[in-house]
Amino acid sequence: MRQFDGKTAVVTGGSSGIGLATAERLAAEGAHVFITGRRELELEKAVAAIGNATAVPGDVSLAADVDRLYERVGERGQGLDVLFASAGINFLATLDELTEEDHDRIFDINVKGTFLTVQKALPLLNDGASVILTASTAAESGDESFGAYGASKAAVRAYGRTWANELSGRGIRVNVISPGPIDTPLFPAVFGGRADEMKTAIGAGLPAKRVGDPDELASAVVFLASSQSSFVYGANLYVDGGMNQI
């Protein structure tokens, strides 16, 4: 018996990076995994890699798209046991560079997207379900140009505390993971042609002496998703190679 046999999972941003690695692990452990993301071609490729999965294209910042995702999950008729909100974006901008449009975009996807993802799942979440939100070390680090991103992730962490409290009566656990630098397509998206140089430089400054692998994040999410973490509520689990711990 695998630990997620017969379970249903949703992974937003499940076509790439941390979301994809986690979707693969949940499916390998028996779950049927619904993934969502904006790019249909990437979603199709991800479904082929994951195996036991259904792709529902959509943007987490749009209520109608999130409704469509959960309509599909509902049609399966087994509720929802694991919800991993991984979809998110980042870009670099100092306070004087940040535009109103970019500020809204990062909060729409990272904060409103997380809110819609969890609120609209409420009717489907089974007793004993596990919800995992994705924050970041940037919520606390104060690194230059990470202001809007860090603020959005601090909001996600705050939501995690309140929702852990509010949903505990239904036996639903809510926890947060805070990744440090992880080798995903987010690196080139943020640092462009300097991505490899930045991975080496940032990695060298960590106790781990390297950046993380998406599968190392997936291990932490699988722990929080499973009964192995049955007494863990409202936690913020850093998976950061020690970045924010020293």
Binding residues for ligand NAD (CB under 6 A): 12-13, 15-19, 36-39, 59-61, 86-90, 109, 113, 134, 136, 179, 181-182, 184-186, 189
Give whole-number Cα distances, 109 to 60, 76, 100, 158, 190, in Å: 6, 27, 14, 16, 16
Residue 9: enclosing H or E segment and its boundaries? strand 8-12
Verify whether residue 149 is a known catalytic residue: yes
Strand partners, 12: 36, 85
Q: Which is nearer to ligand NAD, 130 or 152 (CB)?
A: 152
Neighbours of 58 (CB within 10 A): 20
State in angstroms the smallest separation of the CB of 223 from ligand NAD: 16
In which residue are the tokens 């639903």 written?
172
State in angstroms the smallest separation of the CB of 153 from ligand NAD: 7
Q: Which is nearer to ligand NAD, 77 or 142 (CB)?
A: 142
State in angstroms the smallest separation of the CB of 90 from ligand NAD: 5
State in angstroms the smallest separation of the CB of 1 from ligand NAD: 30
Cα torsion 184, 186, 187, 189 to 10°: value is: 140
Q: Which is nearer to ligand NAD, 125 or 186 (CB)?
A: 186
Catalytic residue among 149, 159, 233, 238: 149
* C-alpha torsion sign, points 2, 60, 114, 86: positive
State the Cα–Cα distance between residues 17 and 13, nearest whole angstrom. 8
State the Cα–Cα distance between residues 206 and 223, nearest whole angstrom. 23
Positions marked catalytic: 149
